[in-house]
Every structure is written in C-alpha cells, then in structure tokens.
A and B are shown apart, each in its own frame.
Chain A
C-alpha cells in the first residue's frame, strides 16, 4: 500500500540535508518566530524573507511542486481569518495579504525542515535540545506505527466493503464505524503488548539507547550565523 510519507525527500544529499538536525530546528524555528513577530507592516522585509525561503527551497533540491502543494494546506485557515476580518475594526486588503504571506512562508519553512531532515534525526535533534525523553519516545513510536495503523484501517475498510452492498441507513453506518474504531483500539492495545514483549526479548530495561551519526560542523555555524544576521538586520530595518 502507498502512503504519503512526511519525510519522503528527507534522504536527498543537498547542502541543507547535510546540516545537523539541531541546526535546522533552531534555524528554521527562529526564522518563523522572526517572521511572525516582525513589527509593523513592511513589504520590503516580507519580500526579503520570501526571497530567502525561495533560495532555501532551491538549495534543498526538494521538488518545488511538493513544497508549494503542501504549503497550500494553510490556505483555508487564512481565508477563514480573512472572512472574519471585516468584523474587526481594522480591516484592509493589504493587512490580509501580509497575514497570508506570513502564514504561507511559515508553513513553507516548516515543510523545508521536515523534508530535509529524516524524522529519526529530527527526533534526536529535539532530544539534544532538551525536549523530554518520554515525548521523543512517543513521537518515535507514533512515526513508526502511524503507517501500520493506517494499513490496519485500510484493510478493515476493504474487509467491510467486500461484505456489503450499497449504503446502509446512517444509523447503521454509524454503528458500523463505532465497532470498527473499537476493534482498532483493541488491536492497537494488543499490538502494544506484543511490541513490549519484543522489546523485553532484546534486553530492554527502561532505557532507549541511541547512537549519534551527524556532527555539528562549520557548515552548521555558517547557516546559523546567516540566519541570525538576516533576523537582526530585518528587525533593525523594520523597527526604524
């Protein structure tokens, strides 16, 4: 079965892919924070950020269509904010455009982060940055078993569709859906039990061991310095 992996392009070999995970997490998140906290309404600054994002997307070698398509996911939310805007007292088109641009750029940068870093490395980066271990463990299991669960649901749906003809009345459909969800919970529960047995069998004693592959190099330093320079100068320019 086919899935849309969130890190489908994470194993390329571009200048961004070779950076250490911590670098990317810190760099991209501060870019987003700067973008959202930028005082006033300065089109030149936004343009500069858009330009930087475009350069990064280009350097990442991730197909443009993939990033653009995924970024559009934010559109409904932005439109919703736009619809609500006339009822607030300070609405104008330019403000709306600025809001839309900022959201779009933020999502693009986030996508850039997840599609230039394999998810396991991202987790390791978060852990090194001091994210609680229990959270990291759970995210790791989520990533690993998301697809197993998706397949389980797809198989259950196929099994249901094979045994019915046409649509049942809504009440019956709902009941069916309920029992499917119920058995999914039970199956996951039992799977968790078997996983734990497998972990015990290989000597698990409460600690998840890790080996670290990538190291922090001068490239990471350059990248972070570049981003810091951009953020500081854009704030000074916007604050004038």
Chain B
C-alpha cells in the first residue's frame, strides 16, 4: 500500500477557450486524510477535482494510489476515485433512482445478483427510504437528489471521495446528516466547498485556492483563522 492517495505535481490546465484554470498546482494527500479545498468561486476547485479521475487532463503529473494517471489505467482509477458533482441533475441521468445508483457497479462488472443488495445498502447509508428506488429522480426534492448522487458514488466503495460543494442548497438538518455520514466513512476525502463550518467539522487540513493556484496549505485552524490571508482571497474568517 502506498503512503499517498493522491500526488499532484505541477499541474496546469487551460480551458479550450484559453482561460487558465489551474497553474502549477502541487498537492499531496495521504491515505485516509481529509483535506478541504477552499477558495472563492472560479478558483479552480471543481477543475482540480475533475482531474482526480482523469475526466480532464492537464499538463503535469498526477498519481492516484501510487499509479500515474494515463489512458491505460483510467477504468481502474475511476474505481478508486468517487466524484460527486455539485449539481445532482448533472449526475443523475438514468430514468429511475435504482438505475442511477446501480450504474457505477454495473459498469464495474459486479455480479447482477449482488447489485440490489448494494443499492439497498447505499440508499440506507445516505438516509433515504427504500421506496424511492423506482421513482424517477426528477420527482425528488433537491436534498433527496443530492443524497442519491452521493449514494451513486458511495456504492462503488471508492478509496478516495471527492465532493464538490456537497452542502450547497441543503437545509440544516440534511447538512448535519451529510457531515455525520462523511465523518463515518473511512475514505480519503477531498472536499471543495465554501461551507467553512463543514470544513472545520470534517477536515484537519485545508488548502486555499484562488485564481488556479494553491496559496496556503496546512492546518485548518491556522488557515481559517488568518484574517489577512482569508480576506485577500475573497473569504472571511468563520
């Protein structure tokens, strides 16, 4: 087993229209570590997450669970990295909740007999009632859809969980539930968010991103308490 879940060295990425999204980003995450990516909108947090499983590929070197990211290992990498998108409508594209949650495992050629049990467990883990499994996801509330999106990734039992603004648009109860759920998972966590309360509850370590670069990386308590640093990058001390 390798010591690092993720090793990113000098990663740069520009969008097709020329906008620079990432510039010389270095980030190492140890196995089992929980790291928050904070920063203003447009800082490049989501772009960085999309690199973790090779959906986007910029210049530089990325190693996931010790293996360099390249076309050959992509399917393997996607089994390791579970990415939950910010907007559940982008993530849930199947006609029913069941099919959406089962989509990942079916692609990973897990035996069909095992899938219903797995779906049941994943839905239970995110606190959803089993009765919603045959409903289309557009019949659900936003909070429920967010939880289905999380279930559709948890079911793949990823070693690394990458969450993009998981608490946005959640009411306080659902947010608290989400924090408890993520805290109970053994996975390595990379959490991109504005929700500094959630960061303090979950992540001992924080990396501050702005304009495609990482400006600070260290203990959460220290970084979030640095008023000058936070205000300089469009954030505020919570």
Looking at the complex, which one of A140, A205, A211 makes contact with B95 (CB distance below 8 Å)?
Answer: A140
The tally of CB-CB contacts under 8 A between chains A and B is 88
Please tell me if the beta carbons of B115 and A144 are within 8 angstroms of each other in the complex: no
CB distance from B211 to the nearest CB of A (A): 22
Please tell me if the beta carbons of A203 and B78 are within 8 angstroms of each other in the complex: yes
Known contacts A120-B136, A211-B102; decide if A144 and B95 are in contact (CB<8 Å). Answer: yes
CA–CA, A11 and B53, complex, Å: 38
Please tell me if A135 contacts chain B, counting CB pairs below 8 Å: no
Please tell me if the beta carbons of A148 and B138 are within 8 angstroms of each other in the complex: yes
Contacts of B184 in A (CB 8 A): none
Number of interface residues of A (CB under 8 A): 30
Interface 1/0s, chain B 100-123, versus A by CB < 8 A?
A: 001110111000100100000000
Known contacts A194-B90, A211-B115; decide if A205 and B107 are in contact (CB<8 Å). Answer: yes
Please tell me if B85 contacts chain A, counting CB pairs below 8 Å: yes
Known contacts A118-B134, A209-B106; decide if A202 and B156 are in contact (CB<8 Å). Answer: yes
Please tell me if the beta carbons of A203 and B104 are within 8 angstroms of each other in the complex: yes
Please tell me if B7 contacts chain A, counting CB pairs below 8 Å: no
- Chain B contact-residue range equals 35 or more
Interface 1/0s, chain A 138-162, versus B by CB < 8 A?
A: 0011011101100000000000000
Please tell me if the beta carbons of B95 and A143 are within 8 angstroms of each other in the complex: yes
Please tell me if B96 contacts chain A, counting CB pairs below 8 Å: yes
Please tell me if B187 contacts chain A, counting CB pairs below 8 Å: no
Contacts of A5 in B (CB 8 A): 139
Contacts of B50 in A (CB 8 A): 197
Please tell me if the beta carbons of A203 and B79 are within 8 angstroms of each other in the complex: yes
CA–CA, A199 and B81, complex, Å: 13
Contacts of B92 in A (CB 8 A): 144
- Which residues of chain A (113-153) have a CB below 8 Å from chain B? 118-120, 123, 140-141, 143-145, 147-148
CB distance from B159 to the nearest CB of A (A): 14
CA–CA, A39 and B160, complex, Å: 67
Contacts of B115 in A (CB 8 A): 211
Closest 6 CB pairs of A and B: A209-B106, A203-B107, A120-B95, A202-B104, A194-B90, A147-B138
A to B CB contacts below 8 Å, 16 in the list: A11-B135, A120-B136, A140-B94, A144-B137, A195-B90, A195-B91, A198-B83, A198-B91, A201-B83, A202-B78, A202-B103, A202-B153, A203-B78, A203-B156, A205-B107, A210-B99
Q: Which residues of B contact A (CB under 8 A)?
A: 50, 53, 55, 75, 78-79, 81-83, 85, 87, 89-96, 99, 102-104, 106-108, 112, 115, 134-139, 152-153, 156
Q: Which residues of A contact B (CB under 8 A)?
A: 3, 5, 11, 118-120, 123, 140-141, 143-145, 147-148, 191, 194-195, 197-205, 207, 209-211
